[in-house]
Structure 1
Amino acid sequence: MDGTPQEITTLVGREVYSNNGVFVGEVEDVRLDLQQEVVTGLAVGQLNQELFAGRIERGKGVMIPYRWIRAVGDVILVNDVIERLEGTNDEEEEAVV
């Protein structure tokens, strides 16, 4: 997120952690806005079962809005994923994939 262009495929396979260091899952795919040529979300699978227990069926994933991404490096950091999930409503972009 430092403005340096990267190949989108480099995001796939990266581990995702909350900014508190809690493992969230692994990026399986990206959601794009082709008109604006930007990434709008990350499809995350291999989810931390403790983090998503009772929320997401085992073997499913989540779509994390890209605006929640705090940093992209060797791993991807997301802002307060636990608190955001608890406050999610039907209008939010998070969805089961």
Structure 2
Amino acid sequence: MEPTPDEITSLVGREVYSNNGVFVGEVEDVRLDLDAEAVTGLALAELNGELFRSRVQPGQGVIVPYRWVRAVGDVILINDVIERLDVDGDEDADEAVA
């Protein structure tokens, strides 16, 4: 079920965790496909340094595809795919950081 406009704005500021409980970052903005009227990604800031240190410059963020979102509540849970970023030499990792 796609979020409504009120729900979309309420996503900003929520913390994002993997479904294994690892803090990923905080939602700073959402990426929308206006033609399809759908959320396509979450722009994250305040990133977990352990996951992103070698891939993202300080002060920069990442966009997580919305299809990774598993649940939205007080926090947002995403697939644990994000934890693969922590593995050096993982070819899929570069695709995850958009």
Report TM bin, short chain: 0.7 to 0.9
Q: Paired residue for 1:73?
A: 73
C-alpha change, 1:42 and 1:4, in structure 2 (3 Å) is closer
Conserved? CA contact 1:24–1:51, under 8 Å:
yes
Conserved? CA contact 1:65–1:94, under 8 Å:
no
RMSD across aligned positions (CA): 1.8
Gaps of 5+ in 2: none
- Normalising by structure 2, we get a TM-score of 0.83
- Verify: 1:82 aligned to 2:83, yes or no: yes
Conserved? CA contact 1:18–1:24, under 8 Å:
yes
C-alpha change, 1:93 and 1:54, in structure 2 (3 Å) is closer
C-alpha change, 1:70 and 1:93, in structure 2 (3 Å) is same
1:26-77 per-residue CA deviation (whole Å, 9 max, x = no partner) reads 0000000111111000000000111111111111100000011111111001
- Structure in which a larger fraction of residues adopt helix: 2
Structure 1 segments of 4+ aligned residues over 6 angstroms from their partners: none
Q: Structure 2 matches for 1:1-97, cutoff 5 A?
A: 5=4, 7=6, 8-80=8-80, 81-83=82-84, 85=85, 86=90, 87-89=92-94, 92=95, 94-95=97-98
The percentage of aligned residue pairs carrying the same residue is 65
Which deviates more, 5-14 or 37-46? 5-14
- Normalising by structure 1, we get a TM-score of 0.83
